Structure 1
Amino acid sequence: MPAPTERHTPATSHHPVGRVDESSTRGHHAPGGEDDDRRTTLLGRSGTPPAPTGRTTGRRTDDRADRSPGHSTGPHLAGPPRSSRCTAGLTADHRTDGTRTASSHHHRQRTGPSRATPTPLPSPGGRLMNHTEPLVELIFDRLAADRVPDDTAEVVLAALTGEADLAAALAGAPTALEPQRTAADEPRERIWLSSVTVTGFRGVGPERTLAIEPGPGLTVVVGRNGSGKSSFAEAVELALTGDSARWADRNSVWRTGWRNLHAGDPCRIAVELRVDGVATPTRVIRSWPSDAELGDAEVAVTSAHGTHRDLADLGLARPLELYRPFLTAAELGRLTAGTQSQLFDAISAILGLEAITDADRRLMAAARPVDTTIKEVRGQRAALAATLAGIDDDRARRAAALLGANRPDLAALTAILDEPEEPTVDEAVLLCRRLGDMQLPDAEEVTRLAGQLREAAAQARRHDGGRSRASLRSAELLRLAIEHHDDRGDGSCPVCATGRLDGDWRTRAAASLVELRDRTLAAQAAASRLTALLQRAHYLIDDLDVPAGDADGVPVDDLHAAVAALRLAPGGPEELADHLTARYPAVFVAAETARAYAKGLLRRRDTGWQTVAGELRAWIASAGTLPERERALARVKAARAWLKATGAELRNQRVAPFAEHSQRIWERLRQESNVELGAMTLAGSNTRRRVVIPVSVDGADNGTALGVMSQGEMHALGLATFLPRGCAPESPFRFVVVDDPVQSMDPAKVDGLARVLAELAEQRQVVVFTHDTRLPDALARLDLGRSRIIEVTRAERSVVTLRPGSDPVTRYLDDAHALARAEEIASEVRGPVVAELCRSAIEAACHRIVWRRRVARGVPHDDIEAAVVAASRRLTTTVALALFDDADRGGDVLGYLGRRHGSRAVGAYKACKEGVHGAYLSDLPGLVSDARHLVAALPPPTPGHGAEVRS
């Protein structure tokens, strides 16, 4: 298809339901004036003009009131990607690597690749649903148009790029504008469904292939419940996504039974896709070994580019998530019965604004700890002020007064804390404060030390010093003698010349040497331990830190005396141990007595200031960081407020064509329903995000849709929500697969659904699975163009058969023809049955004429059905209703047929009305042939409306 030139398409009064826009409005804007001067200083505060060559990108300068969504809101990225940091603010000097610069004053126009553009959808301001402009570019331009302060704008842009950039921006670093891949950069392939093959999966046993023409058109797969038709729909979804809405979000019970019971091995599903302009199909195959679970499928993907691990390698994973070209019966219910946030997310995801949602989350996360700290510091200020107000101290009263201000003078508070002690403080208070800070060893610790001294002294005494020295000398002599024997061998003792040094002697000498050495080492260890304990005991006594001096009333005399007595320590270890045991308890008791007196005196004298002063100093340190934290929080809040407002505006601008498409689909589906839907919008954020669908009943605003809708209307609403999303222009998938959409629909809505699907099939490949024959009947009755009907039947042991379907008239006549030629059956037996089948064909043809004619006139379905049923009492009235639109003109039927269509039509009519006799009894095929002639002779209801649905 040749691609037309891009153009701006004005809104029109009517658009077919199936036609959706696939182009983006391109506009231009010529900046100038005061805003241009501002733009040159927003981001590069030096005001450096742009270089004359290379790509330039800048802030738009028109006011928000003058900006329409159809106009360009930033340049199309045609140069190299940006990769370097901006200096500050919102405009940067141009560099050859593509970094942003101030905008040129020249006329600018966005350009981009042309695409085939069927009839576009209108939307407010002329902007269409396609949104190829990079989001950062769009936000950048809107920040300038809204005259957002630089510090706020930097935070917005940083939040869009990532957490690290946001933290850096809040710390004062410049913001990086990283290159973005735009929607225009994404592949725009047109992908059609060619076939789905199922083996051993769900209701299909032996391998069966559902072949589908890869191009626009409507295919309806009809089969009773349990025929296996939905197995093909589920196979398409499972093959492409790896999951199925049938068992998504359900317990494990729903995930069993996926393997066919009768022929479950091999188990395999395969989907073949066709890409426009590519000869080699893309095939996706999932197969399961005999013992594999559902999630253990072996996946094979092949395309013109080779073999791939999955569809993500072809760039189709994200489009499958965004546009989901299939709708199962379970998912149809969830579209309306699911949570508002789920529907919001499903619609919002296709608008290309996820970066705004992510930026809002980052801003929230950045604000939360700062806000918490500020609140905590403010809460501590109030608590400190209340505590200080209750202290009888001038310093506390002055500090409490300062804390009463919204922004206390921290320097004044620090000065109060730094004031010297009151000059009137007496010696008793000072001494008591020192006593309060006095640290003494615990009495039990000193007792343990005394016990260790006694034990070490006793052990050292066991190793007499003189004997230890003699043992050491003896050991040395033995060592030298052994070395002499080792060098000279056996012989006389070199010292006394009488003894003999031989092997026996050496054995005894070696044993004696080991014993002497052990004894010596034990003696040395005992002496070392005793020395260490003696030092520790003397250090304990010498290091006692007891405040000197005295004061009236302070009981320190006993403490000083006890310490003096303790310091008269004897030298011997046993005596020192006894001394510690006897003297230190007195020191400890006297210290506790003095300390208790000191604490009581300080409690009586101290106003509580000293206790609170430490807390106040810590609070001042925290409060000193508040101004910086408050500035950062204000920037984050301002950025978030602007981003939320802009995001909501962009969401609803981009959802407008989507909503309009949904409304048009609803108008077709609702038919005789008195429920009218307004324009869908997206509202709220985070946990309060929701889809707003205004609804009125008989013109009265009801406020919410689901509360007043029947089940059939809710399913129609689900379809109206799904189809625009599945058929979004940005989707590479040109097919939609819908399973059982006719649920709970009355005949009028089935007719509306038939019209919607037929019009959608003008541009899309629509595959519908249903058990309800009313849909193919409606397609035939309303003469909605060419569609393909496939009938699915399932025999024993899951043997599924696919065959082309036909309209009821053709089926009856084909069955009659087959029976008429069954000569093994007597003609008397065959004749009445053949006549009855021919009569059913004539009645079906008449019913189709009546329905088409009266539906075209706008007659309600119930009235048409009542007229058809009333006329069906006799063939005469049925044919009269078809010929003359008047069942009471039965007497005119024979004459009309004879005049217009001759004896063949009259003979067939009589045979079907009165029974087979005469010549027909011996020529039953002739009766069938004449019945076909009669059916073909029946007039169409209006010119140009006689085409049948062909398979």
Structure 2
Amino acid sequence: MTTPPDPLVDVVLTLADEDGSTPDEVKYLVLAALDGDAALADAADGRYDCPEPAPAGKGSSTEPVGAFLQSITVSGFRGVGPERTLTLHPAPGLTVVAGRNGSGKSTFAEALEVGLTRKSYRWAERAADWQNAWGNLHVRGPRHIRIRIGEQDVGTTTVGIDWAPGVERFDDLTSWVQRPGAKREDGLGSLGWGTAIGLYRPILSYEEVSGLLTAEPKKLYDALCAILGLDQLVTAQQRLDTLKKTTSAPVDDARTGATAVKKALAESTDERAIEALRLLRKHSRDLDALRALATGSRATSAGALGSLRNLADLELPDRATVDRAAGDLRAAVGDLALFLPRATRPGSPFRFVVLDDPIQAMDPSKIDGLVSVLAEHARTRQVVVFSHDDRLPEAVRRLVPDARIVEVTRAAGSVIEIGDTQDPARRDVDDARAFVRDPAVPDELVRRVVPRLCRSAVETAARDAWYARAFAGGADRQVVESTWSDARNQPQRIALALHGDRERSTDGWLRAVAYWSTALGVCGSANHDTLRSDPKYAVECVGRLVDDLRATIR
């Protein structure tokens, strides 16, 4: 039969198909335990029909799609007063959003959680008075959250959360999804992320982590199982343990009865008792011979004879099969846990991972290790980390040169200011300026090094503009990256940034903007020879070109 689509069952089915050493009966018991109590009872009786994985492309009416974050806009929510937008680079890479406590930075992380789940862990356990204090006091009118995401094969989708004027309760909100060229849809169901958001957990706040670590052991265990997606496996294992106890009970009773029977037979001088004892002591017992002795005979001990009849008539399940099934399921729990963190599993529709204040109270020696892990995930995922701790951006500056660092500050009236403190392209331009202005650097060295810094700046800006354009249009990540790699020269890469087509001409831009020609000359021929124009003017032209390319990112 074909069961309703269940990613976990599909994983177990695949593992079962690939495992040639485990008997089919054991596989059926494991799968039935995942299916439910009735299915496990059928499997124990040999009446279970093994499910088949849902065919590719089939299943729920709404399939999850891959997505990158483009921006988070907040108005009147928590620490943000007047509307402010945190713009993110919708592509793989590491972004740190830094700011002191109370700056409003974590409001953007919480707004993302609310936008995608309609809930906030921070407020879930609060008293009623706290739950009614979520609105920013400097905004009297409607409050809202807008999340712009680049969905694969779809384009830019906007997720909205709205609170009407005068609303006091946090959960008295409305949500909607707006896709390109489509009608606005109420709720979040059309995203297809209802199950995935809980299974893959792309957003993790400090409050959630600390709340788990201070919880009582059982609550911590249950919560971690839910976060790691193991609750269904744990329930299945409990079902198998219950089945094991149920099927083991008759075996244990039979063994206890057999011991009593042997003792009674050993004390008897009846020839039939002596023969029965001999048969019972054999490793493989002849039940037919025992039945012949027991049937119609006068017993030396009625209790012993009754136990012997019960033992002869008892049909027991294969205990080894049940024991092996329970063991295999325990191993499966451990194997699946090795795929953690779940947020970066290949099956996740989320191309982003968001962490809020992950290094609070962290040992300084561990911070560099965390940054290395984040950088590794950032090769294939959009990783966004919110932090008030200066140690994190400092470590990122040292260890991840191409990371972005955004600083959030708060002024009077809950006015939030957002500025880039580290942009890879602009950093290269700044380094080139520093080289030019340093009187201690020989002119010959300036003319050789500056073109390389300028070329790096322009290529980084062009790549970011192309990635943002492509992902906003719903392109697949592998296609985006291969298209960039196939653009062999700078004009083609700039054409991708401006037009999304490497074959499009950039001559119009070169004729209209004089400094472009100078900038491209610095990044082109000067890299192969030496810079012949004025270094200061060349760097300023490149800086303006980088700003123009950055301006194409929306």
1:315 Cα deviation (Å)?
2.3
Task: Specify whether residues 648 and 306 from structure 1 end up closer, same or farther in structure 2 by C-alpha distance, changes over 3 A only.
Answer: same
> Contact 2:69/2:148 (CA < 8 Å) preserved in 1?
yes
Give the letter for the 1:199 counterpart.
S
Matched with 1:764 is 381
Stretch moving more, 230-239 or 741-750: 741-750
Partner in structure 2 of residue 687 of structure 1? none
- Counterpart check, 1:235 vs 2:108: no
Map 1:545-556; keep pairs closer than 5 Å. Answer: none
Equivalent residue for 1:212?
Answer: 88
Matches within 5 A, 1:635-674: 635-641=321-327, 644=330, 647=332, 651=336, 655=338
Aligned pair partner of 1:260 in 99, 124, 135 = 135
Measure, in 1, the Cα distance between the counterparts of 2:130 and 2:312.
60
8 Å Cα contact 1:159-1:363 kept in structure 2: yes
Deviation, 1:732, is 1.6
| Amino acid aligned to 1:802 | E
The CA deviation at 1:178 is 2.3
Instruction: Return the alpha-carbon distance in structure 2 between the equivalents of residues 361 and 284 of structure 1.
Output: 41
Q: How does 1:454-853 map to 2 (within 5 A)?
A: 613=302, 619=307, 622-626=310-314, 628-629=315-316, 631-641=317-327, 644=330, 647=332, 651=336, 655=338, 722=341, 725-744=342-361, 757=374, 760-761=377-378, 763-777=380-394, 784-785=401-402, 787=404, 789-796=406-413, 799-806=414-421
Residue-by-residue CA offset, 1:423-473 (whole Å, 9 max, x unaligned): xxxxxxxxxxxxxxxxxxxxxxxxxxxxxxxxxxxxxxxxxxxxxxxxxxx
Q: Is the 8 A contact 2:204 2:354 kept in 1?
A: yes
2:330 matches 1:330: no
Whether the aligned pair in 1 keeps the contact of 2:9 and 2:34 (CA below 8 Å) is: no
Secondary structure at the aligned position of 1:246 is classed as: helix
Note the residue ranges of structure 2 that are not aligned, 5 or more in a row.
Answer: 424-429, 447-534, 537-545
* 1:372 counterpart = 2:58: no
Q: Provide the residue aligned with 1:180 in structure 2.
A: 53
**SS of residue paired to 2:406:** strand
Distance 1:381 1:218, change over 3 A: closer
Q: 1:197 aligns with which of 68, 73, 81?
A: 73
Unpaired segments ≥5 residues, structure 1? 1-81, 85-129, 420-608, 659-720, 809-844, 850-881, 884-892, 902-935, 938-946
The amino acid of 1:225's aligned partner reads N
The sequence identity of aligned pairs, in percent, is 33
User: Could you say what secondary structure the match of 1:317 adopts?
Assistant: coil
Per the TM alignment, residue 277 of structure 1 is displaced from its structure 2 partner at its CA by: 3.6
Asked if the contact 1:399/1:413 (under 8 Å) is kept, the reply is: no
CA distance in 2 between counterparts of 1:132 and 1:312 reads 22
Amino acid paired to 1:804: G
* Cα 1:171–1:242 shift into 2, 3 Å: same
Contact 1:192 1:733 in 2 (8 A): yes
State how far apart, in whole Å, the 2-side matches of 1:271 and 1:189 are: 16
Partner residue of 1:271 out of 136, 147, 156: 147
Per the alignment, residue 285 of structure 1 pairs with 161
CA shift, 1:236, in A, is 1.0
> Pairwise CA RMSD of aligned residues?
5.4
Inter-partner Cα distance in structure 1 for 2:9 and 2:394: 42
Contact 1:269 / 1:287 at 8 angstroms: preserved in 2?
no
1:803 alignment partner AA: I
Task: Go from structure 1 to structure 2 and tell me whether the alpha carbon gap of 1:318 and 1:151 turns closer, same or farther (over 3 Å shift).
Answer: closer
SS at match of 1:233: helix
How far the C-alpha of 1:386 sits from its partner, in A, is 7.6
| 2:296 paired with 1:415 | yes
Moved more, 311-320 or 738-747: 738-747
Residue identity matched to 2:146: A
Q: 1:201 to 1:414 in 2, by over 3 A?
A: farther
- The alpha-carbon deviation at position 769 of structure 1 amounts to 1.9
Task: Determine which of 146, 156, 171 is the counterpart of 2:45.
Answer: 171
Paired with 1:768 and 1:290, the residues of 2 have a C-alpha distance of: 33
Offset at residue 793 of structure 1 (A): 0.7
1:240 counterpart SS class: helix
Task: In structure 1, give the amino acid aligned to 2:206.
Answer: A
**Alignment-mate amino acid for residue 135 of structure 2:** N
Q: CA deviation at 1:326?
A: 1.8
Distance 1:223 1:190 in 2: 29
In the TM superposition, what is the alpha-carbon distance from 1:357 to its structure 2 partner? 6.0
The CA distance in 2 between the partners of 1:219 and 1:232, in whole Å, is: 14
Alignment partners' CA distance in 2, 1:800 and 1:236: 19
Q: Quote the Cα distance in structure 1 between the aligned partners of 2:134 and 2:27.
A: 56
Distance (whole Å) between structure 2 residues aligned to residue 251 and residue 401 of structure 1: 71
Which has the higher Rg, Structure 1 or Structure 2?
1
| SS, match of residue 159 in structure 2 | strand
Aligned residues of 2:146 and 2:158 also touching (Cα < 8 A): no
Residue type matched to 2:69 in 1? L
Shift of 1:189: 2.9
Q: CA deviation at 1:749?
A: 6.0
Which residue does the alignment assign to 1:224? 100
Instruction: For residue 203 of structure 1, report the CA deviation from its aligned partner.
Output: 2.4
Deviations 1:913-946 (A, max 9, x none): xxxxxxxxxxxxxxxxxxxxxxx99xxxxxxxxx
1:315 matched to 2:192? The reply is yes
What code does the residue aligned with 2:323 have?
A: K
**Structure 2 partner of 1:28:** none
Counterpart secondary structure, 2:52: coil
Question: Distance between the aligned counterparts of 2:85 and 2:139, measured in 1?
Answer: 16
Rounded Cα–Cα distance in structure 2 between residues aligned with 1:764 and 1:733: 9
Q: Distance in 2 between matches of 1:360 and 1:178?
A: 18
Distance, in Å, in 2 between the alignment partners of 1:639 and 1:623 is: 26
* Alpha-carbon separation, structure 1, partners of 2:361 and 2:441: 42
What do the CA deviations read for 1:802-842 (whole angstroms, capped 9, x no partner)?
2324479xxxxxxxxxxxxxxxxxxxxxxxxxxxxxxxxxx
Distance 1:311 1:386, change over 3 A: farther
Report the AA paired with residue 139 of structure 1: A
TM superposition score normalised by structure 2: 0.58
* Structure 2 residue 181 is matched with structure 1 residue 300: no
Amino acid at match of 1:177: C
| C-alpha spacing 1:238/1:251, structure 2 compared with 1 (3 Å) | same
Cα distance, 1:780–1:639 mapped onto 2, change above 3 Å: closer
Contact 2:80 2:136 (8 Å CA) reproduced: no
CA–CA distance in structure 2, aligned partners of residues 153 and 223 of structure 1: 52
Which of 1 and 2 has higher RCO (CA within 8 Å, sep 6+)? 2
- Matched residue type, 1:168: D
Shift of 1:773: 3.9
With over 3 angstroms needed to count, the CA separation of the structure-2 counterparts of 1:289 and 1:234, relative to structure 1, is same
User: Which amino acid counterpart does residue 70 of structure 2 have in structure 1?
Assistant: S
Name the aligned partner's letter for residue 315 of structure 1. G
Tell me how far 1:233 sits from its aligned partner.
0.8
Deviation at 1:411, TM superposition (A): 5.3
State the shift of 1:772 in Å: 3.1
d(CA) in 2 for partners of 1:311 and 1:617? 69
Contact 2:73 2:147 in 1 (8 A): yes
Return the alpha-carbon distance in structure 1 between the equivalents of residues 319 and 38 of structure 2: 17
